[in-house]
């Protein structure tokens, strides 16, 4: 009985990750970082045939915060170039990487590329690294920044940001989106995202800990 319970608990997260979780509201987001009473979501829309098209993460904070703070709080690898560029602390998701340039005279950080490594995630996640990058001198596209205020509910057109991510103050319930485009489409309808997921090994350990605690309580209650 105890072995069966443990096996079911360990299998639960793997079973849920085997299908993509469509994000209709902040309540569907699986990967959160930060603490606080305010919530915002990061959306990355990728091109090409790989699955999924868009991925969503969540960010919580108190007081004031910016789109740059949210992106850096999530990115597990951060590279910044520029004169006297501050070095942000790396964030929580090791699959997410950001390369940015810092321009003190133009409002702070600007994204050169964002990549998301989906290798090792269960099917139907494509086993590839997805990239949104500056290809302006190739085809005129670059990581274009948009936002949508909708109280944490999905639906509506995103407005293109007129400033850099360091100058966008987050509000509770806002969606911040990056997509590789030429910036001509404004407003823009983003592909509905699916929820980013924690590292399978990390989540499995958390579930294992919970299972062990449950079994210990059962053993104690019968002793």
**Taking a C-beta distance cutoff of 8 angstroms, is the pair 97, 114 a contact?**
yes
pLDDT, position 1 = 47
- Please, which pLDDT band fits residue 179 given cuts at 50, 70 and 90? very high
pLDDT, position 211 = 42
- Quick one: three-class SS letters along the chain? CHHHHHHHHHHHHHHHHCCCCECCEHHHCCCEEECCCEEEEEEEECCCCCCCCEEEEEEEECCCCEHHHHHHHHEEEEEEECCCCCCCCCCCEEEEEEEEEEEHHHCEEEEEEEEEECCCCCCCCCCCEEEEECEHHHHCEEEEEEEEECCCECCCCEEECCCCHHHCECCCCEEEEEEEECCCCCCECCCCCEECCCCHHHHHHHHHHHHHHHHHHHHHHHC
Q: Is the pLDDT of residue 33 over 50?
A: yes
pLDDT, position 106 = 83
pLDDT, position 200 = 66
Greater confidence, 8 or 115? 115
Q: Is the pLDDT of residue 189 over 90?
A: yes
pLDDT, position 17 = 52
Give the lowest-confidence range in 9-18, 26-35, 41-50, 72-81.
Answer: 9-18
Of 43, 77, 38, 46, the C-alpha closest to 57 is 43
Separation of alpha carbons 168 and 127, rounded Å: 33
Which tens digit of pLDDT belongs to each residue from 130-162? 999 999 999 999 999 999 999 999 999 999 999
Which tens digit of pLDDT belongs to each residue from 71-115? 999 999 999 999 889 989 999 999 999 999 999 888 799 999 999
């Amino acid at each position: 009985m105890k072995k069966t319970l443990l096996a079911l608990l360990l299998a639960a997260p793997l079973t849920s990750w085997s299908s993509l979780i469509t994000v209709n509201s902040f309540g569907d987001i699986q990967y959160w970082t930060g603490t606080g009473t305010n919530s915002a979501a990061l959306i990355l829309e990728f091109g090409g045939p790989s699955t999924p098209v868009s991925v969503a993460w969540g960010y919580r904070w108190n007081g004031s915060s910016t789109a740059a703070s949210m992106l850096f709080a999530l990115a597990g690898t951060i590279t910044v170039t520029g004169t006297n560029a501050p070095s942000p602390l790396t964030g929580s998701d090791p699959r997410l990487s950001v390369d940015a340039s810092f321009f003190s005279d133009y409002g702070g950080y600007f994204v050169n590329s964002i990549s998301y490594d989906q290798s090792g995630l269960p099917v139907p996640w494509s086993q590839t690294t997805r990239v949104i990058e500056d290809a302006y001198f190739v085809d005129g596209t670059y990581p274009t920044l948009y936002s949508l205020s909708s109280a944490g509910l999905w639906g509506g057109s995103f407005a293109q940001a007129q400033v850099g991510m360091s100058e966008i103050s987050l509000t509770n319930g806002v969606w911040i989106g990056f997509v590789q485009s030429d910036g001509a489409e404004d407003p823009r309808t983003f592909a509905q995202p699916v929820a980013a997921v924690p590292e399978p090994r990390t989540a499995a350990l958390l579930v294992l800990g919970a299972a062990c605690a449950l079994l210990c309580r059962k053993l104690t209650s019968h002793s």
